[in-house]
A = this chain, B = another copy of it.
């Protein structure tokens, strides 16, 4: 069964994409070409495509402004900024991880070269802060964005360090995922309210909703990285295991203290052959990593939704925030 795209995502694309394209028009032609390829607006020859992402973070930013009783437009600079920061981090992550495919297309560095991809990421980060800084009520929104960006970078740094360590604990792995994924989502779900000068109780509540949801999202993403259908994920099958990524289900399995955990630890000592990927996946499941990740994803989604319950929100906004949370964690299927 195919998931139906929530209406918020449609609205978001209609509003956010033109604003992101306008931001790209500020760039020099070289980095602009790479940035627009990354965003899916055109192919490697500059020919228009319609491969743009879902702009999920942008959708949250618009909803966040409406949560504060303002128009979606009020949150638009925040939506553009979080989308740009998200794509900055994808560009640099793909360079660092040497990933060759994303969203069913060759990654930007494989097409344009490493230097061009680094520069395009740099310019997206810089332009994100620039666009946001031009908005009214910008100062707090800029702080929100850049503190989230700093955490995102710290999370990616921890993730890289974990690859070299055999003894990563589950708590530090969760802290890493909070930094790497939840911080920007939490910024997205609150930045519109910040731009709309909402009271702190609302802003903080929306940020907490985004934090729980971000962790749920990362757990689901990690599960898909092992058991997902490559046709749906756009990544080669088992790529996370092949690169011996210390994703959340894997670390939960490695630290489970049972015989499957021991066997998995042995396997993770040396590079994993493609033929061994199915066995590695079985060991993660047998050690309990899959069950843990699935139930923790549910729990974090529930925490996100119950945090929403404590907030005073327009009815339609509450409904859309609920739908979107279920959609991005695959709970609508």
**Nearest CB in chain B: distance from A152 CB, A:** 9
Give the residues in chain B near A139, CB-CB below 8 Å. 133-134, 138-139
**Nearest CB in chain B: distance from A78 CB, A:** 14
Given A130-B146, A139-B138, A146-B133, A28 and B157 contact (CB-CB distance below 8 Å) = yes
Residue A114 lies at the interface, judged by CB distance under 8 Å to chain B: yes
- Report Cα–Cα, A279/B150, bound state, in Å: 48
Let me know if A130 and B153 touch, CB within 8 A: no
Give the residues in chain B near A116, CB-CB below 8 Å. 157, 160
Contact segment of A11-19, A117-125, A283-291: A117-125
- Report Cα–Cα, A129/B143, bound state, in Å: 9
Residue A165 lies at the interface, judged by CB distance under 8 Å to chain B: no
Residue A161 lies at the interface, judged by CB distance under 8 Å to chain B: yes
- Report Cα–Cα, A139/B27, bound state, in Å: 20
**Nearest CB in chain B: distance from A87 CB, A:** 13
Let me know if B119 and A118 touch, CB within 8 A: no
Residue A30 lies at the interface, judged by CB distance under 8 Å to chain B: yes
Give the residues in chain B near A143, CB-CB below 8 Å. 130, 133-134
Residue A64 lies at the interface, judged by CB distance under 8 Å to chain B: no
- Report Cα–Cα, A188/B11, bound state, in Å: 41
Residue A8 lies at the interface, judged by CB distance under 8 Å to chain B: no
Given A31-B153, A150-B27, A118 and B134 contact (CB-CB distance below 8 Å) = no
- Report Cα–Cα, A149/B138, bound state, in Å: 19
- Report Cα–Cα, A157/B115, bound state, in Å: 8
Let me know if A28 and B123 touch, CB within 8 A: no
A-side interface residues toward B, CB under 8 Å?
26-28, 30-31, 88, 92, 95-96, 114-116, 118-119, 121-123, 125-127, 129-130, 133-134, 138-139, 142-143, 146-147, 149-150, 153-154, 156-158, 160-161, 179
Nearest first, the 3 closest Cβ-Cβ pairs linking A and B are: A28-B154, A130-B146, A96-B115
23 contacts between A and B (CB under 8 A): A28-B150, A28-B179, A30-B158, A30-B161, A31-B153, A31-B154, A92-B118, A92-B122, A95-B115, A96-B114, A96-B115, A115-B160, A119-B156, A119-B160, A122-B149, A126-B129, A126-B146, A126-B149, A129-B129, A130-B150, A134-B143, A139-B139, A142-B142
Task: A125-B125, A126-B129 given; name 5 further pairs at CB < 8 Å.
Answer: A28-B179, A30-B161, A126-B153, A129-B133, A130-B142
